[in-house]
Every structure is written in C-alpha cells, then in structure tokens.
Amino acid sequence: MPRKTIQPSNKIEYLSILDVDGNVDAALDPKLDPAELHTVFRGMLLARRLDERLLRLQRQGRIGTFGPGMGQEAASLGPAVAMKKNDWFVPSFREGAAMLWRGWPIEKIILWWGGNEFGAATPEGQNDLPICVPVSSQCLHATGIAWGCKYKKDPSVTVCFVGDGGTSEGDFHEALNFACSHTLPAVFVIQNNHWAISLPREMQSKSATLAQKCIAYGCDGIQVDGNDILAMIVASRDALAKARSGGGPTLIEAVTYRLAMHTTADDPKKYRTEEEVACWLPRDPLIRFEKYMRAKHGLDDAGMKQLEEEVAAEIQAAVARAEAYQSDPMDSFHHTFAEMPASLAAQSREFEEYMAELKADAAAAAQPAAERQMAES
C-alpha cells in the first residue's frame, strides 16, 4: 500500500483583531458594549499599576519575592472577562489582572506575595484556586475540577493558565490528554511570554507553535495575539461556549511578552538583550488598548487622569489594609484537617494557654511602676 498523509481532524487558527496602533479589524470586531470596554480598560490599568507598586514594595523589603505580569495583562484578563461567575479559575502566578477581575481583594494579593497564607484563601463564593507556583501542577488540578463538573452535570467550565515553560512539564501533557480523552469542559491558556526564567522559547520546544500541542491529544487549538485584549476575549468566549456545550477542551496559545523580570530574584539583563525588549514595547497591551479607547470610545486626557487617580487611591488603601492585617497565631492549627486529631487539639489548647500567659505578662509590663506597686501592696 502506498504511503499517505494523515490529516488531523482538529484545527489551529491564528487570531488578532487590534493592531499596535489601536486600529480594529472591522470584520472581526466583537463590537463589545462601550461601558464594558471602559471597565475592562480600567481593569487592565489597575493590574499594571498594582504590579508597579508591588515591585516598589518588594524593593523596599515590604513583601517577598514577586513575579510581575507587566506586558501580559490582556492574556489573562481576556479569558477572565469571557468567563461566567461560576466557572472555575485556575491560575499560575502571573494572572494578577484576571484575579482582580474575578474579585480578589488587592490586599489579599499583597499579603500572598508577602508570605501570608491569608492571601491564599479564596474569597467567599468564588470558584477560584489561589496562586500556584509549582510549574504546571495546576493543570492537573484544573482537569480534576473539570472532571468533577462533568460528573455532576455542572455547567461550569474550568479555565487553566500555564506558561510556555510549563508545556514541557509532564503535568501539562497528562492533564491535557485526560481532559481531551474524556471530553471535559476545560480551556487551557498558555501564556507564551517567550521566556521560562532564562530559557528562551526556541529552546523550550521545536514546535512552530505551542498551540499545535493540541494535535497529539485531539482537541482544537488557537494561537492568539496575547497582547490584543479583543482577540483574547473573542477566542476565550468561543472556547468557553464550545466546552459548555459538550465540545471538550480548547488549547489557547496567547503570544505575549514579559516586559519585566521573571521574578524579583533574577536579572533579565543577564540573558536577554535590551533590543529584544524594545521591539515588544510598541505591542504593550495597555498602550494598544488605550489608543483604541481614545480613538473609538471617548477616552481623553481628563478621563485618563481621573482613572489614574482612582486606581492610585484604590491601591494605596489596599496597601494600608494589608500592612495593618494581623495574623491569628492559632491559624497554624486550622485548615488542615476536617476534624482536628486529638493530639493536635491538645497542642492547640497548650499553645492557646501559652499565648494567654504572654499577653498577661505584656500587659503587666506595660503598667506604670506606681500602679504595679499599688497592685502588689
């Protein structure tokens, strides 16, 4: 028998709607409500300004190591805008814009980067997982949640985020294979920011695209201009609708760029050139979206000034709340077991008594000497 070429049934497309000058492709324009667009723009601006503030807080020693998302706001915000409230959001650690859109209080994000576990507590009523740093491990969590939704006939869709480096991890492939094999309601978003810490994209995979990873597992994939908020919303809405109707997963490759360092623990100048960064600056999603909003939806200098002031005040108030937050030492005994073992309960009572003694000693030490003498006489 002669050789023949096998044509995979799944498809891969590329999508871009908004160019670097803020011009929109009329044929692809989703024609979103202007009020919604203004809200989305504010969300992107808030994410950028929060990143800038967190970077300063880290340099001042007020939080720990921080991973900025500057330049990647549209890649996570687009899917978040397209999601329904009851959909499941499974982030990595560079999805700050999406977290804010989903309703995470800013102070929780600040506390998480400051090493306080209160920041990992999902706000009440949200189908969200907290920030996940172990690379690609969240992909398995997402697939498990999607399996649960299908099993319970829950119409929710799970949206999982992973980096380009994460696509080289076994967890990513196992999760995608299982999700596709069982036609699960899931969307996987690859934030291809071209660098896995210091390893460039071209050394991560010889695939022409990361979207084509879908071919091996039997789902559709799409490569999207990840710095184009309109394209990310459209691609995500399509993928979510497909998953919700029983069509199974979609793999979205958001082609974006990390403008800052991987985290504050590394120096990107050691492994990439300033010329490379400079060529991506005009493609900045915030600049591109601002041009579009100014040209098409009435944003002007006065409106920008007002937005900047509102965002600055919101962030400042959140910083104050985060730094005023007092942890309860007793929390170290909670949130591990559904029913606390007797041995741990005994330790908890002992520690509580010890803390009460410390509090009493501190109160006594704070009494003026004259008052102590009167109390002792």
How many angstroms separate the CA atoms of 185 and 146, rounded? 6
Alpha carbon distances (Å) from 248 to 12, 121, 142, 175, 251: 15, 30, 14, 13, 10
Tell me which of 56, 59, 151, 271 is the catalytic residue: 271
257 is annotated as an active-site residue: no
Query: DSSP string spanning 99-136?
Result: HHHHT--HHHHHHHHTT-GGGGSPPTT--B-----STT
Q: Which is it for strands 199-200 and 195-196: parallel, antiparallel or unpaired?
A: antiparallel
- Cβ distance 76 to 43 under 8 Å? no
372 is annotated as an active-site residue: no
Question: How many C-beta neighbours within 10 Å does residue 141 have?
Answer: 17
Tell me which of 48, 102, 258, 283 is the catalytic residue: 258
How many angstroms separate the CA atoms of 251 and 184, rounded? 12
**Could you give the residue ranges of the DSSP H alpha helices within 182-300?**
201-204, 229-244, 274-280, 285-296
| Dihedral (Cα; 35, 36, 37, 38), 10-degree rounding | 50
| Dihedral (Cα; 301, 305, 311, 315), 10-degree rounding | 140
- Cβ distance 208 to 12 under 8 Å? no
14 is annotated as an active-site residue: no
- Phi and psi at residue 115, to the nearest 5°: 90, 15
Could you tell me which residues come within 8 angstroms of residue 21 by beta carbon, excluding any fewer than 6 positions away?
A: 288, 291
Tell me which of 48, 94, 102, 262 is the catalytic residue: 262
The alpha carbon of residue 64 and the mean position of all alpha carbons in its chain are separated, in whole angstroms, by 18
- Cβ distance 187 to 260 under 8 Å? no
**Element (DSSP H or E) covering residue 191:** strand 186-192
Cite the active site residues.
258, 262, 271
